[in-house]
Amino acid sequence: MMDNQRLTNGLQQLADEAEPRQIDVSSVIGKAKAQQRNRRAVLGVSGATAVLLAGALYTTVQVSDSLPMDPAAARPTSTGTTAKQEQGPPYQPITDARAHKFDSQLAAAKADLIPAGFTVGDNPVHPVGDVLRFIGSPGPKGEVDYTAQGMLTNADGTATIQIWVLKNPPGTALEHYYGQVFGPCVVSESNCVRRTLSDGTQAAARPNARPSAMTPSSIMSAQRPDGTYIQVVTNVGERTTPKPLAVPPFDADQLFKFATAFTW
């Protein structure tokens, strides 16, 4: 029987593991104010758009009232379609020039990055639609993160692949960013390979890694001198693909190829 007090104690000891990061209050305040400004700007644009639409609708009604009525033209359109169009993700996916730039960089390097024998497709368990196409999304600190996802399949099974490209200030050391938690190798990681590439890119690869609470994955994180931060994860987790491979694809050398494939 689980004793409530002991559970409380256990949770307290676990919570104590997390060392709070020093908070720069002025930075927090600055970011909050910037978000408020952005929000007001968006609301302003939305308001202006609503006023314009209302004006256009009023004009349309006035004009149509003055015209002879065609019953066919007055037939209502499908509201289901409209409602469907209004649904969408909680944020607008960003497919801007930078996303296309990363798409081009991936296309150029794809033959070298994806090992022979693998095909790339969509994941029927978690469909992404745009297979290995970069889509930007607002990150927690106001930045834009670009993500490309897909599923790798060979004769033995399947694995997911996800690539993240972020931007840090030039000269940033390889570290942990924004929940992309796989940074430099730490002392206890026996299968973590750290390498400084010829262009100065710092990278850490963990082929066939299995951190606690995570299914087998091959992971690479890289920090390029210009600030481009790249992370690649292939995963063979149960319930994430239809037929998970026994071992996640990519050895260290194959993972390191991603470290210089993208430039912000």
Partner 1 sequence: MSLPSRSDDDGRFEAFVARSNGPLTGLAYLLCGDRHFANDLVQTCLIRLYRVWPRVRDTDSVDAYARKILLRCWLNEWRRAWRRSESRDGVVPDRPSADADPAMRVGQAHRNDVLRAALARVAPRQRAAVVLRYWAQYSVSETARILRCSEGTVKSQTARGLAALREAMAQLDTDTLEELHL
Q: Could you list the residues that contact partner 1 (CB under 8 A)?
A: 2-4, 6-8, 10-21, 23, 25, 28-29, 31-32, 35-36, 90, 123, 126, 128, 137, 140-141, 147, 149, 160, 162, 176, 178-179, 181-183, 186-188, 211-215, 217, 233, 235, 237, 240
Which residue lies nearer to partner 1 by CB, 55 or 194? Answer: 194
- In the three-class reduction of DSSP (H, G, I as helix; E, B as strand; rest coil), residue 77 is classed as coil
Calpha distance 158→118 (Å, rounded): 9
- Shortest spacing between CB 25 and partner 1, in angstroms: 5
Phi-psi map region of 179: left, alpha, beta (phi>0 left; psi -120 to 50 alpha):
left
- Shortest spacing between CB 177 and partner 1, in angstroms: 8
Which residue lies nearer to partner 1 by CB, 15 or 246? Answer: 15
Sign of CA dihedral 173, 179, 183, 185: positive
Which residue lies nearer to partner 1 by CB, 13 or 66? Answer: 13
- Shortest spacing between CB 149 and partner 1, in angstroms: 7
- The overall longest dimension of the chain from CA atoms, in Å, is 81
Which of the 8 DSSP states describes residue 166?
E
Which residue lies nearer to partner 1 by CB, 37 or 84? Answer: 37
- Shortest spacing between CB 52 and partner 1, in angstroms: 28
Residue type, 181: V
- Shortest spacing between CB 55 and partner 1, in angstroms: 32
Which residue lies nearer to partner 1 by CB, 223 or 235? Answer: 235
Please count the residues of the chain. Answer: 264
Per the listing, tokens 């307290």 go with: 12
- Shortest spacing between CB 182 and partner 1, in angstroms: 5
Which of the 8 DSSP states describes residue 225?
T
- Shortest spacing between CB 137 and partner 1, in angstroms: 8
Which residue lies nearer to partner 1 by CB, 114 or 163? Answer: 163
Which residue lies nearer to partner 1 by CB, 2 or 63? Answer: 2
Calpha distance 177→145 (Å, rounded): 11
Per the listing, tokens 């931060």 go with: 229
CA-angle at 100, arms to 154 and 204, nearest 5°? 55
Calpha distance 224→231 (Å, rounded): 11
Cβ–Cβ < 8 Å for 259, 93: no
